[in-house]
């Protein structure tokens, strides 16, 4: 008995301290359309259930953010968070269908201290913000069901409104992207319309879509031919219409299908990451020439992607990735 007691004393410390700490997965509730990446690569997620989550870098622990109920089953916080964007390391904005006590939807949430505290900033006429684009120089463009274009040039602190593009009724844009000159922008709608501006929303030109050019056929009339994503890089435009990926030269709109591509995102230096349908990654330069392809692949279909510091960040609910020519984390 004495020998057994000594054996227990000898092995008990090792048994106690050799246990690996177990950390439960943080349940993320609600759809995620976009993820926010800061210059130092802090990662924030805002969900359609009205909750926020963040980590200080890829591989670190995740935390509930200060906005939201911290209840993963809650869907009634006060609106729908469609996206979260970093203007800088400290200045962050959340937009979407966010409503106040009187059902007003005329504000976004904005933080100047890295997400610790948030203020409501009014942008103009009440609107569900369907699309937004924020660049690295503090400029931002948003649009929603008011059909107006909201513009900020001071990191989202104040806003002005431009009139609607075109004369279509109930025109709502689903995606916005601007070139580095901050004058040329593309606006893609929920229903088969692309508008281009070359003078920062003062005038508009309607561009043909892949469906207009009969580059694909709709499966049925019940499926809307929405422009899900549109980007400018170099002398090219690239688009996702109804799940089909096409690209074209910007000076001669002739959409060419990329049948093996499921998603894409541009970088600040006008490179573009393509996600193949086999979930491998293809990096191309501004001339659309492939310069690197990954050997590894994602474990599942992405829910949201973004780029920062020339890297691709991918969110799949179960995992998040950082990918570039040197890393596949």
Per-residue pLDDT reduced to its tens digit, 192-204? 999 999 999 999 9
The per-residue pLDDT for 101 is 65
264 has a pLDDT exceeding 90? yes
The per-residue pLDDT for 11 is 34
Q: What is the 3-state secondary structure (H, E, C) of 250-318?
A: CCEEEEEECCCEEEEEECCCCCEEEEECCCEEEEECCCCCEEEEEEEECCCCCCEEEEECCEEEEECCC
Q: Which of 155, 228, 219, 133 is nearest to 189 (CA)?
A: 228
pLDDT, tens only, 53-85: 999 999 899 998 988 766 655 555 567 899 999
The per-residue pLDDT for 256 is 98
pLDDT, tens only, 282-317: 999 999 999 999 999 999 999 999 999 999 999 998
pLDDT, tens only, 2-23: 443 333 333 334 333 333 445 5
DSSP string spanning 63-130?
EE-SSS-S-TT---SSEEEEEEEESSSS-EEEEEEE--TT----EEEEESSTTSS-EEEE-SS---EE
pLDDT band at 219 (very low <50, low <70, confident <90, very high): confident
In Å, how far are 24, 31, 282, 314 from 299, measured between CA atoms? 20, 19, 16, 11
The per-residue pLDDT for 78 is 64
Mean pLDDT of 198-222: 95
Give the span between the Cα atoms of 141 and 59, in whole angstroms.
32
Mean pLDDT of 209-235: 94
The pTM is what?
0.89
Compute the mean pLDDT over every residue in the chain, rounded to the nearest whole number: 89
The per-residue pLDDT for 221 is 83
The per-residue pLDDT for 271 is 96
184 has a pLDDT exceeding 90? yes
The per-residue pLDDT for 39 is 97
The per-residue pLDDT for 150 is 98
The per-residue pLDDT for 49 is 85
102 has a pLDDT exceeding 70? no
**Is residue 246 within 8 Å of residue 254, measured between CB atoms?**
no
Gyration radius of the chain over CA positions: 23
State percent of the chain over pLDDT 90. 76
Give the span between the Cα atoms of 245 and 228, in whole angstroms.
10
111 has a pLDDT exceeding 70? yes
Pairing of strands 107-111, 261-266: unpaired
Give the span between the Cα atoms of 20 and 309, in whole angstroms.
34
């Amino acid at each position: 008995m004495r020998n057994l007691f000594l054996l227990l004393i000898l092995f008990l410390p090792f048994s106690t301290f050799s246990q690996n700490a177990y950390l439960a997965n943080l349940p993320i509730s609600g759809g995620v359309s976009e993820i926010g990446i800061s210059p130092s690569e802090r990662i924030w997620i805002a969900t359609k259930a009205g909750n926020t989550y963040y980590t200080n870098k890829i591989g670190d622990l995740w935390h509930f953010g200060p906005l939201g109920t911290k209840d993963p089953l809650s869907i009634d916080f006060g609106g729908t968070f469609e996206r979260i964007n970093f203007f800088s390391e400290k200045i962050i904005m959340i937009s979407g269908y966010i409503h106040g006590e009187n059902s007003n939807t005329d504000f976004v949430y904005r933080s100047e201290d890295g997400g610790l505290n948030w203020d409501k900033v009014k942008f103009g006429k009440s609107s569900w913000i369907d699309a937004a684009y924020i660049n690295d120089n503090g400029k931002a463009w948003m649009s929603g069901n008011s059909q107006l274009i909201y513009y900020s040039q001071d990191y989202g602190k104040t806003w002005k409104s431009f009139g609607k593009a075109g004369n279509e009724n109930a025109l709502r844009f689903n995606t916005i992207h601007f070139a580095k000159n901050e004058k040329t922008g593309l606006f893609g709608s929920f229903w088969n319309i692309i508008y281009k501006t070359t003078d920062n929303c003062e005038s508009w030109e309607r561009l043909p879509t892949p469906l207009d050019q009969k580059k694909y056929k709709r499966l049925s009339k019940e499926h809307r031919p929405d422009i899900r994503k549109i980007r400018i890089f170099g002398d090219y435009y690239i688009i996702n219409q109804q799940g089909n990926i096409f690209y074209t030269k910007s000076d001669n709109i002739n959409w060419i299908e990329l049948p093996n591509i499921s998603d894409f995102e541009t970088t600040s230096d006008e490179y573009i990451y393509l996600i193949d349908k086999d979930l491998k990654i293809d990096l191309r330069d501004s001339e659309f020439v492939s310069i690197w392809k990954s050997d590894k692949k994602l474990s599942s279909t992405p829910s949201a992607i973004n780029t920062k510091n020339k890297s691709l960040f991918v969110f799949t609910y179960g995992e998040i990735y950082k990918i570039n020519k040197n890393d596949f984390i």
